[in-house]
A and B are shown apart, each in its own frame.
Chain A
Amino acid sequence: DGGITQSPKYLFRKEGQNVTLSCEQNLNHDAMYWYRQDPGQGLRLIYYSQIVNDFQKGDIAEGYSVSREKKESFPLTVTSAQKNPTAFYLCASSIDRAGTGELFFGEGSRLTVL
């Protein structure tokens, strides 16, 4: 079935370590996104990519990095520079470039920093 796969579902990290969250889609969508979700704050955009080998910062990009070497893949690295990385991370994709279309979400990755 078509969809977005995020891994791992749960991840624990020690302070000072970088960690990479995987996001793969087989929907043939051009655009992909990373959102961070914290209780009571909704979703905030970290990075987005409209096309392979191109990506833009969202509202809270500091302490994060991404790459888009393949259309299907948009991994997110949470670096040691991110001061409060414990959160639920959601990857999404969209086929509609005009902003009118539906976002398809993965099931999320919950990162806990010990």
Chain B
Amino acid sequence: AQSVTQLDSQVPVFEEAPVELRCNYSSSVSVYLFWYVQYPNQGLQLLLKYLSGSTLVKSINGFEAEFNKSQTSFHLRKPSVHISDTAEYFCAVSGSGTSYGKLTFGQGTILTVHP
């Protein structure tokens, strides 16, 4: 069995400030890790993913996340946020060998960027 814990339910931040959204997971097998973003009343969109290789993965809009196996974490960071980054962010895990993208999601972190 696997689980995901997002340590902050809400993160308020001012525009152009750095932000970190924290995610810890537990799993008895090797994992694949994902961050998804959800804008109000919409579905989720993939932001970035770690499958293998470099532990630092980046998105096209400036977010990055680092897979830390020893700390079982996959924190999401951005050095300078914009108003448009306001959304809910979900961390998710899929155990390698788990069939067909059966993901386990965290509870979500609402990021609110203030001007």
Contacts and interface: CB of A to CB of B under 8 A. Distances in A.
B100 A50 contact: yes
Contacts of A4: 43
A40 B44 contact: no
B108 A102 contact: no
Given A48-B100, A94-B100, A94-B101, A103 B44 contact: yes
Interface string B19-43: 0000000000000100010000111
B100 A99 contact: yes
B59 interface: no
A15 interface: no
Interface of B: 4, 6, 9, 32, 36, 41-46, 49, 51, 90, 94-103, 105-108
B100 A40 contact: no
Interface in A44-102: 44-45, 48, 50, 58, 90, 92, 94, 96-102
A106 B42 CA distance: 8
Given A33-B101, A99-B97, A105-B45, 13 more contacts: A30-B100, A31-B100, A33-B102, A40-B107, A42-B90, A42-B105, A92-B43, A94-B101, A97-B99, A99-B99, A107-B41, A107-B43, A108-B41
A99 B107 contact: no
Sort A-B residue pairs by CB-CB distance and give the 6 closest, nearest first: A105-B43, A94-B101, A42-B105, A43-B105, A31-B100, A99-B94
Contact of A99 (B44, B45, B90, B95): B95
Contact of B108 (A40, A97, A106): A40
